[in-house]
Amino acid sequence: MALKKYKPITAGTRWRVGNSYAEVTTNEPEKSLLEVKGRTGGRNSNGRRAMRYIGGGHKKAYRVIDFKRNKKEIPAKVASIEYDPNRTTFIALLNYADGEKRYILAPQGLQVGASVVSGDAVAPELGNALQLKNMPLGTVVHNIEMQPGQGGKIARSAGASAQLSNKEEKYAVLKMPSGEVRRVLINCYATVGIASNSDHQLQSMGKAGRNVWKGIRPRVRGVAMNPVDHPMGGGEGRASGGQPRSRTGQYSRGLKTRTKGKGSDKLIISRKNGSKLAK
């Protein structure tokens, strides 16, 4: 991926760093794979505002993505790499040999015209989907299932990936994007490669108006509110507000929020900070 630095011809472009979309090959989505996507504007069924800082934004259509990769042993050609307004990574349109079309998450480096396939006995090559038990150790994967047949749940955002570091009896050991090391059932499917658009986090909006185009309205700081509105509000002059916390009083630093005795604790070998969970 390549970034684009804008010339400071206006105040909004002075700090803007955008995506050049060098990998994207078309701006016309496949109409048969589009669905209507409604928006609430942060309102509930009574029409009252239930969530703050949501509203406006450009109209979007939802692209139906094949997270399951359950079209087995049928090769497909990559027809295009496209931008998806609903996610940070790019998507790839596949034309299967039997005539069907599907979208998948595009891995980094996938080119138009490339051939991809999913199945139990396919090669662990870029864009192919196969069970973790059939991959060699060290393989970098994304769109990883947590339960067989459920569809990919892990490592789906831009630049995300996990590395297969070990295989046990019925589990594969993965090093997650966060640094956490955990077990996943070895017959779960995953796609080989790193999710595309890896420089997404290096972009800069440049102005608040670009976030409004995305449906994100300006957020008011807690310290600028009154005491009745936020725990950090009030005070004489410009008070710091004390230890940062949420509107409901939950501290943003140091407070452990993971449920004790959670079912997935037995699958986690070490957390992202390298510590082991207490048994």
Sign of the alpha-carbon torsion through 130, 181, 160, 35: positive
Q: What average pLDDT does the segment 12-18 reach?
A: 95
d(CA 197, CA 24): 10
Question: What is the per-residue pLDDT across 20-48, written as a single tens digit (0 to 9) for each?
Answer: 999 999 999 999 999 999 999 999 999 99
Structural domains in the chain, CATH included, are 3-200 (2.40.50.140), 220-279 (4.10.950.10)
With bands split at pLDDT 50, 70 and 90, how would you rate the model's confidence at 272? confident
d(CA 14, CA 225): 30
Q: Report DSSP state, residue 86.
A: T
Q: What average pLDDT does the segment 205-213 reach?
A: 94
Report pLDDT for 273. Answer: 75
Full-model pTM: 0.91
Question: What is the per-residue pLDDT across 239-260, written as a single tens digit (0 to 9) for each?
Answer: 999 999 999 999 999 898 889 9
Residue 279 has pLDDT above 60, yes or no: no
Cβ atoms 139, 192 nearer than 8 A: yes
Residue 274 has pLDDT above 80, yes or no: no
Mean pLDDT of the chain: 94
Report pLDDT for 167. Answer: 95
